[in-house]
Amino acid sequence: MTAAEAELAFDPLVGAPNITVENMGGEVALNVHNHLEVVLPPGDHRDDAMLTTSAINALELNVTVPAGVQAIAQDGNFTLAGTTPTRRMVRLRVEEALSRHSLLRDNSDVTVDTDLNTVRLTGHVRTR
């Protein structure tokens, strides 16, 4: 599996089997066929209660949204509230993302540290 295919497979929202990955002279070409259009019928109105319910259902169905995130609509505007993943989980996700990319050599000394809402990368990376 190429790095591009691994990156696509990592994201649960991407239909990786429906994407063709081709190496074209050192550049990656992604081919996707997706014809999607969402149109709200004229005169269709959704009040805040309906919008809130729809948003909560969408959040619950999205596997990348942490459990407990809530949504509320007021005057058509949404407010999201909840807790982000633990610092350890954020660190692991950043480390996994770094390992999927060819930005770092295998013997890199880059480390990931999290503190409140800050992710800090330290170490050495190649410049060419």
Q: Residue 14 domain-assigned?
A: yes
CB atoms within 10 A of CB 60: 11
> In this prediction, what percent of the chain has a pLDDT beyond 90?
2
Q: Do residues 76 and 49 share a domain?
A: yes
Stated pTM of the model: 0.41
Q: Are 99 and 115 within 8 A, CB to CB?
A: no
Q: Residue 127 domain-assigned?
A: no
Q: Do residues 45 and 78 share a domain?
A: yes
Q: Is 53 helix (H, G, I), strand (E, B) or coil?
A: helix
Q: Which helix or strand (DSSP H or E) is residue 24 part of? A: strand 19-24
pLDDT per residue as tens digits for the range 35-78 = 666 566 787 777 889 888 988 898 888 877 778 888 888 887 77
Q: Do residues 45 and 73 share a domain?
A: yes
Q: Residue 7 domain-assigned?
A: yes
Q: Do residues 91 and 60 share a domain?
A: no
Q: Identify the domain containing residue 59 by its residue range.
A: 41-83
Q: Which one has a higher pLDDT value, 13 or 105?
A: 13
Q: Do residues 30 and 45 share a domain?
A: no
46/44 Cα distance (integer angstroms): 7
Q: Residue 109 domain-assigned?
A: yes
pLDDT per residue as tens digits for the range 21-32 = 888 777 777 777
Per-residue pLDDT band for 79 (boundaries 50, 70, 90) equals confident
Per-residue pLDDT band for 13 (boundaries 50, 70, 90) equals confident
Quote the number of domains for the chain: 3
